[in-house]
Structure 1
């Protein structure tokens, strides 16, 4: 039985804040469909270096214009329309290129979301990290939330959480902190998802962390 400070903190946060699925209903859902997984993947790129509020505005623009599937984005030859739609998420010269690169990779090399769901986690992570604009945090967000694979996400909230509770020495690398959490916890997808959300809630507060349902 795993029994560490990190796991004990998880149980404390769960008792304090309740079920994370109530706060992130789509991202932490136990019954995601392929469309939801696709939107989560797009959202993971759009939220890079911006707030979810801004990323959500961009995602809703894509949905409104029926340009919210990997297949449709992968077929684009001109990024002008995509650039205008994702402008609320910032970095509008690079994020359209990242969306296109990921969409082409997903469709042409993996057989879409369904194909990635059927791949083993570590080989898929290695391939994701070779895609333009996909770093460790985004790759792990894909794996954990879009593909339901146990790959813990180390973002700024997690780093602050580590400092707050003195879980590691300062200035450790992404991979080091990822290993710290994964070694301390049962390898359980729902636990990883829930813990990551609870870490954000612990930093931002419950209401500020709440996500609305994705529009399908």
Structure 2
């Protein structure tokens, strides 16, 4: 089986095993963006708790966040960790959104321009930018995260330490350029890596075990 076909086959196996994931859990594109910042270097549970605090305080809009003193904003997002840093990043994101004309206006930008502009925002790196592109703006961009690196390096398809853009290119070349597929595939990777292909993997429960270099070589 070719490497390209293995990427597709893995998607099919994960999709059959785990089913639809319906990501990203958010009410609005802006909430997706906020979540993408808050989940940096923490769990979704912690980020979600911070989002709930922001919603309860009626701070789920760019203007509301920009009009909040940064030390108060930090207090609302304590559960996400690194809250002072993330408060600054949320402020920078909201400033960019408003100065760029809002989400509807930004949506008109080409994928290349939008990604470049997102990466120019303080605190927005490649993974966060691609989360926002895929889940807030419905653009066909594949998100690479630590779960992707762990799972696919164990499967022998990538080097875990490879640079972000090279890994993104591997997936985007192997798969049909479809936002729905990229959305579901990334969600499936996260679910599988959190529940089965953990740091201490549960290989006996893995639907990908027959394809896994680690299992076949008995090194996991």
Give the TM-score category using the shorter length.
0.7 to 0.9
Please tell me whether the aligned partners of residues 73 and 103 of structure 1 are also in contact (alpha carbons under 8 angstroms): yes
* 1:24-173 correspondence runs (5 A): 24=23, 26=25, 36-76=28-68, 78-109=69-100, 111-173=101-163
Runs of 4+ in structure 1 off by over 6 angstroms are none
Q: Give the equivalent residue in structure 1 for 2:175.
A: 185
What is the TM-score normalised by the length of structure 1? 0.85
Aligned-pair CA distance for 1:107: 1.1
Please tell me whether the aligned partners of residues 26 and 36 of structure 1 are also in contact (alpha carbons under 8 angstroms): no
Q: Give the equivalent residue in structure 2 for 1:4.
A: 5
Q: Number of paired residues?
A: 194
Uncovered stretches (5+) of structure 2, i.e. residues with no partner? 197-220
SS, match of residue 4 in structure 1? helix
Q: 1:182 to 1:118 in 2, by over 3 A?
A: same
Q: 1:25 to 1:175 in 2, by over 3 A?
A: closer
- Deviation track 1:78-136 (CA, whole Å, cap 9, x = no partner) reads 21210100111010121000000000001112x22212222111111011111100000
| Greater relative CO (CA pairs within 8 A, separation 6+) | 1
Please tell me whether the aligned partners of residues 32 and 136 of structure 2 are also in contact (alpha carbons under 8 angstroms): yes
Uncovered stretches (5+) of structure 1, i.e. residues with no partner? 28-34, 207-216
Q: 1:204 to 1:150 in 2, by over 3 A?
A: same
Question: Based on CA coordinates, which of the two structures has the bigger radius of gyration?
Answer: 2
Aligned-pair CA distance for 1:170: 4.2
Q: Give the equivalent residue in structure 1 for 2:15.
A: 14
Distance in 2 (CA, whole Å) between partners of 1:157 and 1:148 is: 21
